[in-house]
Amino acid sequence: MRIAIGCDHGGFPLKQRVVSVVQAAGHDVVDCGTDSSCAVDYPDFARKVGETILAGHADRGILLCGSGVGICVAANKVPGIRAGVCHDTYSAHQGVEHDDMNVLCLGSRIVGDEVAAELVRAFVNAIFTKEERHVRRLNKVLEIERDALAGKFTG
């Protein structure tokens, strides 16, 4: 697979380890920045990874920020992106297997390098099961997205 990897300055300390783990697992990395610890805005990198996936230049993404939360919230605003913050290995693979999660979000202030490495391996090795109940639920998620884009949630 091609994995788009993006982070803000909060996630930057974890980035190189994540890149190495993805490559060691036999996947290609699409580097979406940032490239230093200089302060930047996490939505810019969530957007870049999301757009990279939607454009077909990557199959999945990994996003890193301080907590994993901000960059996950931003990524989920990109239609077609299903991002989750996973700091346990069960969620990192089950999110793909049941929910077709296509972006893993990690907080570099929450997990260390080796836990992050295990989370990344769990994510990239997982496959959506396509079991009927999971497809049914995914279709309901996609319906929410379609309705929102069609302006049905006007408050």
Name the residues annotated as catalytic: 65, 98
The token duo for 87 is 């700091």
* Contact between 100 and ligand RB5 per CB under 6 A: no
Could you tell me which stretch among 18-26, 59-67, 123-131, 132-140 binds ligand RB5 (CB under 6 A)?
Answer: 59-67
Interaction mask 20-49, ligand RB5, x per CB under 6 A: ----------------------x-------
| Residue 110 vs 138, nearer CB to ligand RB5 | 110
In the set 3, 5, 6, 8, which binds ligand RB5 (CB under 6 A)? 8
C-alpha torsion 72→77→81→83, nearest 10: 20
Kind of pairing between the strands at 83-85 and 103-107: parallel
- Strands, E assignment, 54-137: 60-65, 83-85, 103-107
- Strands, E assignment, the chain: 2-7, 28-31, 60-65, 83-85, 103-107
The residues that touch ligand RB5, with contacts defined as CB under 6 A, are 8, 10, 42, 65-67, 69-70
